[in-house]
Amino acid sequence: MAHPTHISHNEKEMIYKSQRLLDSGKIQDPIVALRHLCLARGFSGFLRFGRCFREIDDNGKMVMNLNQFAEAMDNTGFELNDEQVEDIFRRFDLDGSGGINSHNLMDCIKPEMSASRHAIVHAAFHKMDKEDVGVISMKTLKHYYDVHSNPRFTSGVQSEEAIVKTFIDHFEENNHVNGEVTKEDFENYYAALSASVEDDTYFDLVIRQVYKL
C-alpha cells in the first residue's frame, strides 16, 4: 500500500470511486452527493469545503442563512442545483430559525472516523499546537511533518522536499497562503485521508510515524 499522505494510489482510487458514483446518477440524497463531491476533490476536498464557509462567516459563529449558504456552496464550484442546496439547508435548519450551523453540516458530510482515528489525529495536532489555540503556522506543520518512513522517500522515488511540498500544497490550495492551519483544516484533511485507508491499525501507524507520536 502506498503511503496515503501524498497523491498516489490511495488518493487517486478514492477520487475515482467517488466520481464514478457521481457519474452513475444513482445518488439521490444531496447530502450523500455533497460528501462524494468533496471526496472527488481528493484529500483537500473537505478542507476546501470548510474554508468556503469560513469565508462567508461574518460573525465568527459559523451560522448562515439560506443566502449565505447558497453563496458558500456556489464558491465551492460543486454542481448542485438550487433545489438540492435548499433541501440540504432545510434539513439542517432543525428549529426553523432560518439559520444552520456549518460545523453540524461538516460533521454529517465528512466520512465517519472511528474513535481511535479521531484520537490519533487530535494527538498529532495537539503536539504541534503547544499553546492550545486551535491554530498552527505552516512553518510548524512543515517542521513536524516527517517523511523518513514514507516508502517513496526510503525507495528514492521522491525527495523529502517533494513529498513535503505535495502535503503542504493541500493546505495552500486556491491561493490560500496565509501561513496558518486551523485544527478544523487539519481534521478535515485527515477525514478525507481516512476514507482512503480501510485499516485502523495502518492509519494509526502512519500518523504516529509522520508526527513522531
Cα gap 206→208, rounded to integer Å: 5
Q: Which residues, listed in sequence order, are joined to residue 64 by a DSSP beta bridge?
A: 100
Predicted local distance difference test score (pLDDT) of residue 121: 96
**Homologous superfamily of 9-109 in CATH?**
EF-hand (1.10.238.10)
Measured torsion, CA atoms of residues 113, 116, 118, 123, in degrees rounded to the nearest 10: -160
Task: Check for a shared fold between 9-109 and 115-211.
Answer: yes
Cα gap 165→27, rounded to integer Å: 35
Backbone phi, psi, residue 165, to 5°: -60, -40
Mean pLDDT of 1-6: 40
Which pLDDT tens digit goes with each residue over 72-102? 888 888 878 899 999 999 998 888 888 888 8
pLDDT band at 111 (very low <50, low <70, confident <90, very high): confident
Predicted local distance difference test score (pLDDT) of residue 173: 66
Angle between helices 82-92 and 102-109 (to 10 degrees): 110
Question: Domain coordinates of the chain in residue numbers?
Answer: 9-109, 115-211
pLDDT band at 4 (very low <50, low <70, confident <90, very high): very low
pLDDT band at 62 (very low <50, low <70, confident <90, very high): confident
Cβ atoms 44, 37 nearer than 8 A: no
The pLDDT of residue 3 is above 50? no
Mean pLDDT of 109-118: 92
Give the amino acid at 11: E
Predicted local distance difference test score (pLDDT) of residue 211: 95
Cβ atoms 86, 71 nearer than 8 A: no
Cα gap 77→146, rounded to integer Å: 33
- Please give the CATH number for the structural domain made up of 115-211: 1.10.238.10
Three-class SS state of 113: coil
Indicate the DSSP class of residue 41. T
Cα gap 121→199, rounded to integer Å: 15
Q: Which residues, listed in sequence order, are joined to residue 135 by a DSSP beta bridge?
A: 182
pLDDT band at 60 (very low <50, low <70, confident <90, very high): low
The pLDDT of residue 6 is above 60? no
Cα gap 54→102, rounded to integer Å: 9
Residues 6+ apart with CB under 8 A from 44: 170, 171, 173, 189, 192
Nearest Cα residue to 65 out of 78, 50, 79, 53 = 53
